[in-house]
Amino acid sequence: MKVLAVYNLKGGVGKTSTAVNLAYLAAREGRRTLLWDLDPQGAATFLFRIRPKIKGGSRALISGDRPLDGALRGSDFDGLDLLPADFRYRYMDLELDGTRKPTRRLSRLLATVADDYDVVFLDCPPSISLVSESVMDASDLLLVPLIPATLSLRTFDQLTGFVADFDGRRPEVVAFFSMADRRKRLHRHIIESIPRDRGRIADTVIPSTTVVEQMAERRAPVPHFAPKSPVARRYEALWAEVAPAS
Amino acid sequence: MLGLLSRLPGVAPVAAPDPEPAIKPPAALIERSTPAPQAVADVVSGYLAEMCANIPGLIDDIDTEFLHDYRVAVRRTRSTLKLSRPFLDPATVRHWEAEGKRLGDLTTPLRDLDVHLLGLPTMRGWLVSADPADLAPFEAHLRRRRATAHRALVRALGTRRSQEFLTDWTGELVETAGELSRITADELSRGCISRAHRRVVKLGSAIKADSPHEGLHTLRKRCKELRYALEMFTALHDPTTTGKAIADLKRLQDCLGRFQDAEVQQHAVRTFADEMAAGSAPASALLAMGELVTHLETDQAAARADFGDAFARFVRPSSTARLQALGTEGSR
């Protein structure tokens, strides 16, 4: 089982769209896939038409009162399951802090479903916290969407620094440009001139397009409702770049 | 029926589970003059009730028969829709056929593992040089895989899409039928039997000694369709003729079943052995599994050798005459 976390300190950079579309593509090629919606906003959960509620909230999950398996939900796409978001995740930091070795908790929870899945996607909340440390520890790959703007490059620097200093299992970090607008000179300039020594940057650029915005309306992944759209192809290319060997 | 759906994860209870769900299709209500789309809807509705009735037992994992019966009901639904295509609205039937295929396919991994686990006692008896106890790691591997497959199936059955199939949608078949409603259940039933029969004869006749195994697998599926066509509207036909026709067909089905089961099991045992080798299983277990594959190959070769006789028996004049009497030729 490989764990891919879609993560950025900043919000609104296309994390959920990435997690949902890549998880769908992974399941479509026959991998048993789980998407864990860790974001209290529950956008991924909303997209899959699942009620964002876990009985007992995150406290029950973290304390082990309720096995992870009981909270898993099938989605309408074969091979793709969801661990829904719960608004009470906002307390997750406090609850993690109350456990022993809090940064290991997420990976231990995931170990209980290791037989059930080939790939797990973590759709992470935008912050640096105990949750994110736990995410780092549990992940094999940290996938970082970047908007081509000077400030978001700074946050990428902060993030790679954070991972490098992390006291635990360090995931591989791969960034990619998201919500890019080729018509904007600044976007083009940043994409072309980014120093590649900041960490691995994927070749695929996900453009800013209304098709991605339609996901909320259609409540489905882009490659499902617009399989021939250029952006669906880009997500396929991105998945080909970052997919773990099966 | 909705009460049974409430057993699925994520589904709010709607009503108490029905203690005596309707298992049998309401065949008695179908008369020769019943409009064909209505007759199909009634039959399929019965199959859907049967699927729902088996879900609680399947989820609670009480007995493997719940899954088996559930799968048979799904297959009957699909075959009924497929054979009735000319008598139904194409778009509607296409949609529900695809959904039925999806729901059937979801259950295949678990059923395959059930078949292996149920067959283990027999398989132990096949071993010549290996000790029956050598298969213990194989059994442990199967049980682990089965637990995972069961969890995955329960989750998949709980999705909105799966639930949609289990709520009675058969009214759509009638509503969208339009002009096709002038065709009667009798014409539909005879048409289905004739078509299914012709397909079996055509496919079976084309199979030679060196034909690839896929041909036999396809023939097995067509035989199942013929069987379901014969059983779909039993009330409309002479029970003696139907019973004899089913008995003729069953002999051929048994032979094809032996062949295909051996094929699937050989392939599966090899795959399981690969998985177990990757997880450092003891060599004694892998050697014992090698013996199983050899035994399955022999079984398969024997079934293949029997096929010629079994098919010749099925197409003999008396058997053909019976099926023709039940099909369109019998109505002339």
b/e B62-90 (16+ beta carbons within 10 angstroms → b): eebebbbbbbbbbbbbbbbbbbbeebbbe
- Identify the bridge partners of residue A173 per DSSP, sorted by sequence position: A142
Closest Cα of chain A to B310: distance in Å?
Answer: 38
pLDDT at B16: 36
Torsion (CA) A221, A225, A228, A229 in degrees, nearest 10:
-70
pLDDT at A58: 42
Interface test with B, best of A47, A49, A72 (most B CBs within 10 A): A72
Contacts of A70 in chain B (CB under 8 A): 9
Tell whether the model's pLDDT for residue A188 goes beyond 50. Answer: yes
| B159 and chain A in contact, CB less than 8 A | yes
Closest Cα of chain A to B193: distance in Å?
Answer: 34
pLDDT at B21: 36
| B158 and chain A in contact, CB less than 8 A | yes
Interface test with A, best of B108, B113, B159, B165 (most A CBs within 10 A): B159
**Lookup: tokens for B329:** 């030729």
**Lookup: tokens for A6:** 């879609």
Nearest by CB to B155, which of A49, A51, A73?
A: A73
pLDDT at A93: 52
**pLDDT band, residue A180 (cuts 50/70/90):** confident
Q: A99 and A137 in contact (C-beta within 8 Å)?
A: no
pLDDT at B11: 41
Q: What is the mean pLDDT of residues A160-182?
A: 85
**pLDDT band, residue A226 (cuts 50/70/90):** very high
What is the pTM assigned to this prediction? 0.80
CB contact under 8 A, B162 and A81: no
What letter represents residue B103's amino acid? L
A33 Cβ neighbours under 8 A, 6+ residues apart: A23, A26, A27, A79, A80, A81, A117, A118, A119, A120, A121
Closest Cα of chain A to B147: distance in Å?
Answer: 9
Q: What is the pLDDT along chain B (332 residues), one digit of tens a residue?
A: 444 444 454 443 333 333 333 345 555 578 888 999 999 999 999 999 999 999 989 998 989 999 999 999 999 999 999 999 988 999 999 999 999 999 999 999 999 999 999 999 999 999 999 999 999 999 999 999 999 999 999 989 988 889 889 888 989 998 888 888 888 999 999 999 999 999 999 999 999 888 898 999 999 999 999 999 999 888 888 889 999 999 999 999 999 999 999 999 999 999 999 999 998 899 999 999 999 999 999 999 999 999 999 999 999 999 999 999 999 876 65
| B143 and chain A in contact, CB less than 8 A | no
Contacts of B10 in chain A (CB under 8 A): 50-51, 73
Give the C-alpha separation, B34 to B30, whole Å: 6
Tell whether the model's pLDDT for residue A28 goes beyond 70. Answer: yes
**pLDDT band, residue A11 (cuts 50/70/90):** confident
Q: What is the mean pLDDT of chain A?
A: 81
CB contact under 8 A, A73 and B158: yes
**Angle, helices B185-205/B317-326, rounded to nearest 10 degrees:** 150
Give the C-alpha separation, B300 to B227, whole Å: 23
| B163 and chain A in contact, CB less than 8 A | no
CA B265 to chain CA centroid, nearest Å: 17
Tell me which chain B residue has its CA closest to the CA of residue A51.
B10
Give the C-alpha separation, A122 to A20, whole Å: 10
CB contact under 8 A, A74 and B162: yes
Q: B119 and B296 in contact (C-beta within 8 Å)?
A: no
Tell me which chain B residue has its CA closest to the CA of residue A53.
B10
Contacts of B151 in chain A (CB under 8 A): 69, 72, 116
Q: Is A143 helix (H, G, I), strand (E, B) or coil?
A: strand
Q: B56 and B7 in contact (C-beta within 8 Å)?
A: yes
Closest Cα of chain B to A226: distance in Å?
Answer: 19
What letter represents residue A186's amino acid? L
Q: B156 and A78 in contact (C-beta within 8 Å)?
A: yes
Tell whether the model's pLDDT for residue A241 goes beyond 80. Answer: yes
Which of these, B158, B148, B153, lies nearest to A73 by C-alpha position?
A: B158
Q: Is B183 helix (H, G, I), strand (E, B) or coil?
A: coil
**pLDDT band, residue A91 (cuts 50/70/90):** very low
Nearest by CB to A115, which of B106, B148, B159?
A: B148
Tell me which chain B residue has its CA closest to the CA of residue A73.
B155
Closest Cα of chain A to B248: distance in Å?
Answer: 39
User: CA triplet B306, B239, B69: central angle to 5 degrees?
Assistant: 65
Beta strands in chain A (DSSP E): 2-6, 33-37, 73-74, 80-83, 119-123, 141-146, 172-180, 200-207
Closest Cα of chain B to A228: distance in Å?
Answer: 22
**Lookup: tokens for B294:** 């050899």
Closest Cα of chain A to B178: distance in Å?
Answer: 30
Closest Cα of chain B to A73: distance in Å?
Answer: 6
Q: What is the mean pLDDT of residues A134-161?
A: 86
Tell whether the model's pLDDT for residue A65 goes beyond 50. Answer: no
CB contact under 8 A, A76 and B160: yes
Q: A10 and A152 in contact (C-beta within 8 Å)?
A: yes
Tell whether the model's pLDDT for residue A90 goes beyond 50. Answer: no
- Identify the bridge partners of residue A175 per DSSP, sorted by sequence position: A144, A201
Q: Which of the two residues, A175 and B14, has the higher pLDDT score?
A: A175
b/e A123-153 (16+ beta carbons within 10 angstroms → b): bbbbeeebbbbbbbbbbebbbbbbbbbeebb
Q: Which of the two residues, A92 and A128, has the higher pLDDT score?
A: A128
DSSP conformation letters of A153-188: HHHHHHHHHHHHH-SSPPPEEEEEEEEE-TTSHHHH
CB contact under 8 A, A76 and B159: yes
| A29 and chain B in contact, CB less than 8 A | no
Q: A119 and A2 in contact (C-beta within 8 Å)?
A: yes
Q: Label residue B193 exposed, middle or buried (CB < 10 Å: 0-12, 13-18, 19+).
A: buried
H helices within B180-238, ranges in order?
185-205, 213-232
Nearest by CB to A73, which of B9, B102, B161?
A: B9
Give the C-alpha separation, A28 to A212, whole Å: 19
Contacts of B148 in chain A (CB under 8 A): 115-116
Cα-only R_g, chain A:
17
